[in-house]
């Protein structure tokens, strides 16, 4: 079911807030699992942090035969983390860490897993190594090339022009975002070494402070790119399209009779695992009544007849309920001789009825009920044993 209406309502209510909820479309793929497609939109505005420029590529030629270049970008950490959240990627806490090999080397490790649309899991592990010595050499070569060939990034070029001698140049074959020739700044020979040393000092100082975090973050972002199949670079038009991420969640359809029966069976199995196996419950008809015989203790008719639920204060014949008179033969209402084990004469006020099992004296109602139910006189305690 599409929840675009619900999302629109949320957006209208919190229009003054920065919403981090991606839109989603859900489809029940089977009675037990639901496939949800999450849409994540990248913020392609300048300075948003979701993407960063990595260069440019030739996309064609104009009518005059000049090459047309377009900037290419790569998803940055904020966008990749939003995609990981939408996809439900989980990282193992024990294997997602960073290790310091020596004084100048850090190794970040990340182990992640994501559930695929078919319900299976896909796992991936990546590492990211940062060696400060190698990074220093890389920075030296990078800034040496920029000082000779020119600084094309507008902000960096403007900052360098304020501190170091040089000249502005234009590349007529390369057009910027305003469709004008690209301008770049070339450092003069006298200030070239100063520019290189200062640029290296700034970047290496920052890297030494964040080398450990960068190693771990680099490993995590590599896992996200691998699990989701994200490209290394995109053109701006591609990044303006939403990223659709399908996920699978356990979402039983309780309107399905098969699902209800399976969930009931699973619940019974869980109870059996905790407290031992239990007998299968009796079936219930459409009126909500047990179809099998109800236990005597819960049978309304038996409750009326069983002397356990009646008073024993009277033993006169006129106090005997009519149902006992109808249920028991007339001769059963006559007094019997005590059983063989009873040798003493009945005491004054005695009912004259005794249990065949234990010899306990019973009243007339218990005697009539037991004789009709079990074929012999039993006390209430022995009746329970005879009924099993």
Domain boundary among 250, 283, 305: 250
For residues 209 and 309, membership in a common domain is answered with no
Give me the residue label for tokens 């960096």: 156
Any domain includes 298? yes
With cut-offs at 50, 70 and 90, classify the pLDDT of residue 107: very high
215 with 81, same domain: the answer is: yes
**281-298 burial by CB neighbour count: b if 16+ within 10 A, else e?**
eeeeeeeeeeeeeeebee
What is the mean pLDDT of the segment spanning 2-10? 57
224/370 same-domain check: no
Strands 181-187 and 166-175: antiparallel
Q: Per the domain annotation, does 301 fall within a domain?
A: yes
pLDDT at 219 over 60: yes
Q: Are 54 and 183 members of one domain?
A: yes
Residue 124 vs residue 26, higher pLDDT: 124
Q: Say if residue 235 is in the same domain as residue 329.
A: no
For the cut 60, the answer to whether the pLDDT of residue 273 exceeds it is no
Domain end (from 182, 216, 250): 250
Asked, for residue 265, whether it belongs to a domain, the answer is: no
| Confidence band for 349, pLDDT divided at 50, 70 and 90 | low
Q: Give yes or no: residues 246 and 309 share one domain.
A: no
The answer on 39 and 184 residing in a single domain is yes
Of the chain, the percentage scoring pLDDT greater than 90 comes to 30
What is the reported pLDDT for 171?
81
195, 166 in Cβ contact below 8 A? Answer: no
Average pLDDT in the 275-291 region?
Answer: 47
Question: Residue 133's pLDDT band (boundaries 50, 70, 90)?
Answer: very high
Outline where 150-256 has alpha helix (H). Answer: 154-163, 192-228, 236-239
Q: How much is the pLDDT for 304?
A: 45
The tally of domains found in the chain comes to 2
If asked whether residues 310 and 162 sit together in one domain, one would say no
Q: Which of 25-39, 273-287, 308-322 has the largest mean confidence?
A: 25-39
Whole-angstrom CA distances from 220 to 90, 97, 138, 270, 291 are 10, 10, 23, 38, 60
Query: 306 is in which domain, residue-wise?
Result: 294-386
User: Would residue 326 count as lying in a domain?
Assistant: yes
Which residue shows structure tokens 């310091």?
100
* 313 domain residue, yes or no: yes
Does 339 map to a domain? yes
Q: Which pLDDT band holds residue 348 (cuts at 50, 70, 90)?
A: low
Does one domain contain both 91 and 221? Answer: yes
Domain edge (last residue) among 186, 220, 250: 250
% pLDDT > 70, the chain: 67
Instruction: Give the pLDDT band (50/70/90) at residue 295.
Output: very low
The pLDDT value given to residue 322:
53
Q: What is the mean pLDDT of the chain?
A: 76
Q: Are residues 159 and 62 in the same domain?
A: yes
**Whether residues 235 and 374 fall in one domain:** no
pLDDT in tens, 229-263: 898 899 988 898 888 887 777 677 777 777 777 77
Residue 109 has pLDDT above 80, yes or no: yes
Please indicate, yes or no, if residue 136 is contained in any of the structural domains: yes
**Mean pLDDT computed over 46-51:** 86
Q: Do strands 97-102 and 361-362 pair parallel, antiparallel, or not at all (unpaired)?
A: unpaired
Please state which of the ranges 120-124, 221-225, 274-278, 311-315 shows the lowest mean pLDDT. Answer: 311-315
State whether 53 and 147 are in the same domain: yes
Residue 283 lies in a domain: no
**pLDDT beyond 50 at 303:** no
Alpha helices in the chain (DSSP H): 4-13, 77-87, 132-149, 154-163, 192-228, 236-239, 257-275, 300-305, 322-327, 364-374, 380-386
Whole-model pTM over 0.95: no
Contact 23, 43 (CB under 8 A): no
Mean pLDDT on 313-334 = 46
């Amino acid at each position: 079911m599409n929840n675009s209406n619900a999302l629109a309502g949320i957006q209208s209510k919190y229009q003054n807030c920065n919403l981090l909820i991606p839109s989603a479309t859900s489809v029940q793929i089977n009675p037990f699992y639901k496939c949800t497609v999450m849409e994540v939109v990248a913020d392609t505005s300048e300075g948003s942090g979701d993407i960063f420029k990595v260069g440019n590529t030739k996309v064609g030629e104009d009518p005059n035969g000049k090459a047309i270049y377009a900037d290419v970008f790569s998803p940055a950490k904020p966008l990749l983390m939003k995609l990981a959240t939408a996809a439900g990627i989980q990282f193992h806490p024990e294997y997602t860490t960073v290790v310091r090999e020596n004084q100048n080397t850090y190794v970040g490790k990340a182990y992640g897993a994501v559930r695929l649309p078919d319900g299976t899991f896909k796992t991936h592990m990546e590492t990211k190594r940062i060696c400060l010595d190698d990074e220093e050499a890389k920075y030296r070569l990078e800034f040496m090339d920029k000082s000779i060939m020119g600084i094309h990034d507008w902000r960096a070029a403007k900052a360098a022009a304020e501190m170091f001698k040089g000249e502005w140049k234009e590349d007529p074959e390369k057009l910027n975002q305003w469709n004008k020739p690209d301008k770049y700044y070339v450092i003069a020979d006298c200030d070239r070494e100063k520019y290189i040393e200062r640029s290296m000092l700034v970047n290496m100082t920052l890297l030494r402070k964040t080398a450990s975090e960068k190693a771990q973050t680099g490993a995590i972002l590599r896992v996200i790119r691998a699990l989701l199949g994200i490209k290394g670079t995109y053109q701006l038009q591609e990044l303006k399209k939403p990223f659709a991420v399908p996920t699978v969640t356990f979402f039983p359809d309780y309107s399905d009779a098969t699902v209800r029966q399976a969930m009931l069976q699973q619940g019974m199995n869980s109870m059996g695992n905790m407290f031992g196996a239990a007998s299968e419950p009796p079936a219930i008809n459409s009126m909500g009544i047990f179809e099998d015989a109800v236990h005597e203790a819960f049978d309304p008719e038996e409750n009326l007849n069983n002397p356990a639920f009646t008073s024993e204060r009277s033993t006169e014949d006129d106090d005997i309920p009519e149902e006992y008179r109808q249920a028991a033969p007339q001769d059963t209402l006559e007094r019997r001789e005590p059983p063989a084990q009873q040798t003493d004469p009945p005491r004054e006020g005695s009912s004259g009825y005794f249990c065949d099992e234990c010899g306990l004296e019973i009243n007339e109602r218990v005697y009539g009920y037991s004789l009709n139910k079990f074929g012999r006189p039993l006390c209430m305690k022995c009746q329970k044993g005879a009924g099993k």
